[in-house]
Amino acid sequence: MSEKGTDRVKRGMAEMQKGGVIMDVVNAEQAKIAEAAGATAVMALERVPSDIRKEGGVARMADPRITEEVMNAVSIPVMAKARIGHITEARVLEAMGVDYIDESEVLTPADEEFHLLKNDYTVPFVCGCRNIGEAARRIGEGASMLRTKGEPGTGNIVEAVRHLRQVNGEVRKIVAMGEDELMTAARDLGASYEFLKEVKLLGRLPVVNFAAGGIATPADAALMMELGADGVFVGSGIFKSDQPERFARAIVEATAHYQDYALIAKLSKDLGPAMKGLEMATIGAADRMQERSW
Amino acid sequence: MKIGVLALQGAVREHVQAIQACGAEAVVVKNAGQLAELDGLVLPGGESTAMRRLIDRANLLEPLRQFADAGKPMFGTCAGLVLLAKEIEGQDAAHIGVMDITVARNSFGRQVDSFEADLEIVGIEEPFPAVFIRAPHIVSAGEDVEVLCEYDGRIVLARSGPFLGCSFHPELTGDHRLMQLFLNMVENRELLPTEAHYSKI
């Protein structure tokens, strides 16, 4: 007797990614570069976040041709993005055999009220969060992995730091709370009581939580690990840098050895310009991808 | 007894917890200098290609082979099994390459085909709950390899001298019986038939 699509299988897949780097790729060639550099998975999409930001328009699931080519090009897991609430895009990706779906605020949401009921799927999902309430709601819907959102496509780490500190700070508070304080906290945080009880019992989130949204250098990646991320997603940071291969390798190594500062110094030498990046103050409220999801 | 967990990437924490739950000391291993003090080493689940890149960049490949050559026990789960194998289907070269088996990667399919199943394991009485995630399996095994479990006609757990390897993730279930089996191998190391594993890298 065997059983597919169980929580253990879906969450376990994310556990195997820990300490790793998941890289955004838009074609098979980039996917091969990512794999050769030591990425633990690739995220197939049509445009990296910084291009979505620059070009505007509606961002959708990638052309299945791209995703298929990426799947055929590498032996590591392939993730792909579906729009928030877009049941059909998610089902299409599942039917194609994608290994993980990112229900992602980087794409233009299809539904501004409801996220996908991810428990219904055999394929596991990763979702973004900025605080413990968002984390709890996504896990409640069936997400098997989280990533703090940051602000995608900016090459600016400030929002990624804010969100990871927020989530981990809230986890620490919950762990320190008395049982009798949890119900009120559940009300205030928008998280279920059962979820908070689980966090308190485990002393951590019940699923793996990566950092994302603004990681542009090896030191950025190491910083997120230092702050307690289980691993990192790098979107525009690699293929928008001057030397993608070297950036990719350096970020992988810095993530694995995030407290070896002499090594990170060595890795960061002569890498050439990172992606240019954006100041948060220059991004209007309507252009902040992190506000998408509810 | 000190047991290391290779901590370049993957399910390190789970193995550390299993080792501690069995009453041994766990060491998180990131560089070659740490290997000398160890009685045994666990190669965790994760992504074998990513681990190999990090092994190379940390100059760990030769030290890991020497560790194996010295007859010190190693336990590989999933990606760790792939690291141990002498042959990997469809690839020119092995990784550490010390266990006389040929493995096929991702041989049960993609993530949507990942599954849980209860296994009958030689020498373990009650069924063992196993989690298979994009799992490899052992396609063929040398003469000295003891097959401890097959699932669906495929070898998923085997022992050979000081090496123990499985396709699945005992670290995800909280069932420590396989870790205990490994720790028994470490404890009784001098009794293991290591001869076959001393040569030819």
Q: What is the ipTM of this complex?
A: 0.93
Of the residues B88, B133, B175, the best mutation for testing chain A's interface (the one with the most A CB atoms within 10 Å of its CB) is B133
- Out of A4, A41, A249, the one facing B115 most closely (by C-beta) is A4
Give the per-residue pLDDT at B190: 72
Give the per-residue pLDDT at B192: 60
Separation CA A43–CA A24 (nearest Å): 5
Give the per-residue pLDDT at B194: 52
**Cβ A19–B131 below 8 Å, yes or no?**
no
Q: Tell me the DSSP string of A74-135.
A: -SS-EEEEEETT-HHHHHHHHHHT-SEEEEETTSPPS-SS----GGG-SS-EEEEESSHHHH
Predicted TM-score (pTM) of the model is: 0.95
Which residues does A contribute to its contact with B (CB < 8 Å)?
1-6, 8-9, 12-13, 15-20, 35-41, 75-77, 94, 97-100, 122-124, 249, 252-253, 256-257, 260
Do the beta carbons of residue A123 and residue A142 sit within 8 Å? no
* Chain B stretch 83-122, residues whose beta carbon is closer than 8 A to a beta carbon of chain A: 105-106, 109-118
Residues in Cβ contact with A152 at an 8 Å cutoff, skipping those fewer than 6 apart: A49, A53, A105, A106, A212, A213, A214, A235, A236, A289, A290
Give the per-residue pLDDT at A1: 75
As a whole number, mean pLDDT of residues B33-39 equals: 97
**Cβ A18–B46 below 8 Å, yes or no?**
yes
- Out of A39, A77, A123, the one facing B134 most closely (by C-beta) is A77
Structure tokens at A264: 């990170």
Question: Could you tell me the pLDDT band of residue B201, with boundaries at 50, 70 and 90?
Answer: very low
pLDDT above 70 (res B195) = no
Separation CA A169–CA A131 (nearest Å): 9
Q: Which residue of A has its CA nearest to B131?
A: A9
Phi-psi region of A98 (alpha: psi -120 to 50; beta: other; left: phi over 0): beta
- Per cent of chain B over pLDDT 90 is 93
B172 interface with A at CB cutoff 8 Å:
yes
- Out of B8, B116, B172, the one facing A3 most closely (by C-beta) is B116
The C-alpha of B114 sits at a distance from chain A's nearest C-alpha, in angstroms, of 6
As a whole number, mean pLDDT of residues B60-64 equals: 98
Antiparallel, parallel or unpaired: β A125-129 and A100-104 = parallel
- Per cent of chain B over pLDDT 70 is 95
- Out of A1, A15, A37, the one facing B117 most closely (by C-beta) is A1
Bridge partners, residue B43, by sequence: B76
The C-alpha of B87 sits at a distance from chain A's nearest C-alpha, in angstroms, of 17
Give the per-residue pLDDT at B193: 57
Separation CA A263–CA A254 (nearest Å): 8
Separation CA B157–CA B147 (nearest Å): 6
Residues in Cβ contact with B49 at an 8 Å cutoff, skipping those fewer than 6 apart: A35, A38, A75, A76
pLDDT above 60 (res B196) = no
Question: Could you tell me the pLDDT band of residue B183, with boundaries at 50, 70 and 90?
Answer: very high
Q: Which residue of A has its CA nearest to B172?
A: A12
Place of tokens 């969450």: A11
**Cβ A15–B54 below 8 Å, yes or no?**
no
Cα atoms found within 13 Å of the Cα of residue B31, Cβ hemisphere only:
6
pLDDT means per 10 residues in chain A (294 residues)? 94 98 97 98 93 91 97 98 98 98 96 97 98 98 98 94 98 98 97 98 97 96 98 93 94 98 96 85 86 84
Do the beta carbons of residue A231 and residue A19 sit within 8 Å? yes
The C-alpha of B108 sits at a distance from chain A's nearest C-alpha, in angstroms, of 12
Question: Could you tell me the pLDDT band of residue B199, with boundaries at 50, 70 and 90?
Answer: very low
Separation CA A24–CA A74 (nearest Å): 14
Question: Could you tell me the pLDDT band of residue B153, with boundaries at 50, 70 and 90?
Answer: very high
Separation CA A204–CA A168 (nearest Å): 8
Do the beta carbons of residue B84 and residue B98 sit within 8 Å? yes
